[in-house]
Chain A
Amino acid sequence: MRQPTYQPLRLTAVAACVAGLLMVGLAAASARPITTAEGVLPPGTELYEEQLDQPTELFSFEAAGGKRSYLFNLGDMLFSSPAIFGGVARKAGISCNTCHQQGSGNARLYVPGLSIRPGTFDTTGALFNPNTDNGVFDAVRVPSLRGAKYLAPYTHDGHFPTLRGFIRNAIVNEFAGAEPSPQVLDALEAYVREIAFLPNPKLSPGGRLSAQASEPARRGQMLFVKPFRRAAAMSCASCHRPDGAFVDHQVHDVGSGGWFKTPTLLNANFNAPYFHDGRFDSYGQVVGYFDRHFDLGLSKDEQADLVAYLDAVGDAAEPIRRNTVQAELDEIAAFASVLDTAIAERNKLVIALTVDSVGNEWREPSENFPSHSDTSVSGGLAERRRARGAVSEMVLTLRRIAMAAADDDFDGAARAYADYRREVAVAAANMKVAERWSLFNPAVRKAHFAALQRLADLAK
């Protein structure tokens, strides 16, 4: 990993061009709180976890025709496991994936008292770890981890030169977890290093626009590399290097309140809000800021062209995918496969972590099959019941594995795991049959959440 270097402010074009991005529907920055005063988290908290449309997840090994390894699967599972955290995060079921959904960011995340606005979070606040509270409300934008292996140093101020240090800090300092074992850190690092940028057909190798980019974007590309009128040695591309993932691995002072690292522009359309503290919602605001701050003298048309360029560079072919029963099953299968090795190695710690994590993963889709008490949903009650029942059986069979392993009965754990693998097919079939009456169906989902909202409105 490269160490961050520090440069004085100057007209760091960099930032200028960069920073920000915009994004999809962020304009609707209105969070939809789902918690009450009874919850572990403050009222008004929106974790934005239960969405039907999920950020697309892509791994480097997939592009290379490779396959999942044990270490990768372990890291993938741990990334979604609240058990590696402590305190409030663990009790609230928060995991790495809560903030970095499918390895991207979380533009809607909002925790009262810790977020300045949706998509930001104070990682040094008292709620999640009183021992590392710095006494300052300094929320920062939740970063995407796509392409993380190319983006050292880590955290907005570039404090951590390595991914490993960044990950350990999140576990121990930000979320009060116990000191992670070397195996846990190895696995999480292996997983995060594989999170890839999403393909962008508007971009060619070397960071040049492809034929699919628009004419305004092409004009913007010229402006992007054009020297600043007040600092001829600098341009936007000085820091956002097109041939280097649009970063320079350095921190700069661009007048935003300190020294912050150059953020990548790749897939940045989906990384809003922009700047370290998420102060801007759109590329237009970012470009306008740099035009004023560095006296770039850009016309309105030129600013629009730069925005078009940023929009082309920051795009992706398929940024969102619909969550389905099959997608959930695939993820669960990957997580549970850790048990193949963990049981054989008699690794009680990993078995326990996996059972807890995979059990939670089963319970989540289970809640998508409303019970008879949910009268906002009609039809398919028998099918929903079978699906819920089958999922509950999976959770309990997993628990049998953990109970046997805890008693040092690894043969018993292996037998229970064999049962689990056999029962998966039954659960999968029942879930697919019931999918049309579940919250995986947008219409059913709408009715369910409308009922929840009516209840919340009634309680106001």
Chain B
Amino acid sequence: MSLTITKPNTSVRFTSRALKFCGAFIVFVFVAAAATRADARSLVKGAQNYKPFAVEHIGKALAGAKELQAAAKAGNVKAAQAAWIKSRKGWEAIEPITGEFFEKLDEAIDAWPDAKQGYHAVEAALFAGKLDEIGAPVEGLVKNLAEFEKQLKAPSFNFSAQGLLNGVTGLAYEIGENKSKGGESPYAHTSHIDMQENVEGIEAVYKLVFEGALKKKDAKLAESIHEKIEDVEKLVQVKNVKQIDQPALNKAGEELAVLLQSAAPKLGLKKPKLGD
């Protein structure tokens, strides 16, 4: 059987073999499209699964900030410091999403080094025992964390898989930055805890959103990412920043970011953009 299609100045002859090929191609495209839709659904579902994790941790951050406020008003420095650390842990665990999805609030909550607002303005004075200087920044912190929680909890808010991959890749890169001068929270001496929470946050995003879909596409790469996260996790299990093997952490963080980048096309996503 043959079929000839004639167009102005064009004549294409399809043989039965060509038609078979064409049919197979159409089936392939259909299947691929269906698979892509399935992948997309899987990622959407994963992003939905991640939201409770984020809500839980912003809740911890806000609760800690409120405890901090109460302790400061009561003049209890030790309790205020403990509450700051508790709040900070909740915040650091969701750092993959803070700057990527809530830039303005992130700027207000985690500003550095400007000592006017946010965690670090409170940290510098609080861990020097200056409770009388943290009233306004703590009030601002509580207010901004509450607003963060409100926006995050809104039913209309959904994470995009691309944004989550951007955030988690950026944080994997950032975790390798030089901590030899004390890291992110040098006055509270808790930079190592920041990093531990960061890794927990990376792991949560990866496991809840991407790992399942990636395993179906490239099980070896999925396992490599899993192992690399574990490597980074081991490197930050220290008692203080001084104990960190900075060159090893730098290398492992970069390798994790590279692996996450290489996962993007397999997940039907764009290469993660790095920036902040």
Contacts and interface: CB of A to CB of B under 8 A. Distances in A.
Interface of A: 34-41, 82-83, 90-93, 356, 359-360, 363, 367, 371-376, 385-386, 388-389, 392-393, 395-396, 399-400, 402-403, 448, 451-452, 454-456, 458-460
Interface string B180-208: 11110011010100000000000000000
15 contacts: A35-B180, A38-B186, A82-B247, A92-B180, A372-B103, A375-B111, A376-B114, A385-B275, A385-B276, A389-B274, A392-B173, A393-B274, A402-B251, A458-B124, A459-B127
A377 to B, nearest CB: 9
Given A373-B107, A375-B111, A392-B173, A38 B258 contact: no
A373 B276 contact: yes
Contacts of A373: 99, 106-107, 110-112, 276
Contacts of B247: 82-83, 90-91, 356
A400 B114 CA distance: 35
Contact of A39 (B125, B186, B255): B186
Contacts of A456: 124
B94 interface: no
Contacts of A34: 181
A331 B2 CA distance: 66
List of 4 A-B pairs having minimum Cβ-Cβ separation, nearest first:
A38-B182, A392-B274, A389-B275, A458-B124
A454 B111 CA distance: 13
A367 B258 CA distance: 20
B99 A372 contact: yes
B189 A37 contact: yes
A417 B21 CA distance: 39
Contact of A363 (B127, B177, B242, B274): B177
A436 to B, nearest CB: 18
B100 to A, nearest CB: 11
B114 A375 contact: yes
A399 B182 contact: no
A82 B86 CA distance: 35
A458 B258 contact: no
B258 A403 contact: yes
B115 interface: yes
A38 B276 contact: no
Best-buried of B115, B127, B251 by chain A (most CB within 10 Å): B115
B120 A455 contact: yes
A372 B111 CA distance: 8
Given A36-B181, A39-B242, A93-B180, A388 B275 contact: yes
Given A389-B275, A395-B254, A399-B258, A451 B241 contact: no
Contacts of A458: 115, 121, 124-125, 128, 130, 133
A451 B99 CA distance: 21
A91 B180 contact: yes
A36 B182 contact: yes
B246 interface: yes
Interface in B120-155: 120-121, 123-125, 127-128, 130, 133
B113 A39 contact: no
B182 A35 contact: yes
Best-buried of B106, B120, B177, B180 by chain A (most CB within 10 Å): B180
A375 B103 CA distance: 12
Contacts of B121: 455, 458
B106 A396 contact: no
Interface string B245-268: 111001100110110010000000
Contacts of B220: none
A337 B207 CA distance: 39
B127 A389 contact: no
A39 B107 contact: no
A373 B130 CA distance: 24
A376 B113 contact: yes
A31 B56 CA distance: 45
Interface in B67-119: 99, 103, 106-107, 110-116
B259 to A, nearest CB: 9
Contacts of B133: 458
B210 to A, nearest CB: 18
B30 to A, nearest CB: 33
Nearest to A382: B275
Given A38-B186, A39-B182, A458-B133, 13 more contacts: A38-B240, A39-B180, A40-B180, A91-B246, A356-B251, A372-B106, A373-B107, A373-B111, A373-B276, A374-B111, A375-B116, A388-B274, A458-B124
B254 A399 contact: yes
B273 interface: yes
A385 B113 CA distance: 17
Contact of A371 (B127, B181, B186, B276): B276
Contact of B107 (A372, A386, A460): A372
B158 interface: no
Given A91-B180, A92-B180, A39 B241 contact: yes
A393 B254 CA distance: 10
B160 interface: no
Nearest to B253: A399
Given A83-B247, A93-B180, A458-B125, A38 B189 contact: yes
Contacts of B275: 371, 385-386, 388-389, 392
A250 B161 CA distance: 70
Contacts of B120: 455
A338 to B, nearest CB: 18
Given A373-B112, A395-B254, A91 B181 contact: no
Contacts of A393: 274
Nearest to B183: A38
A376 B177 CA distance: 21
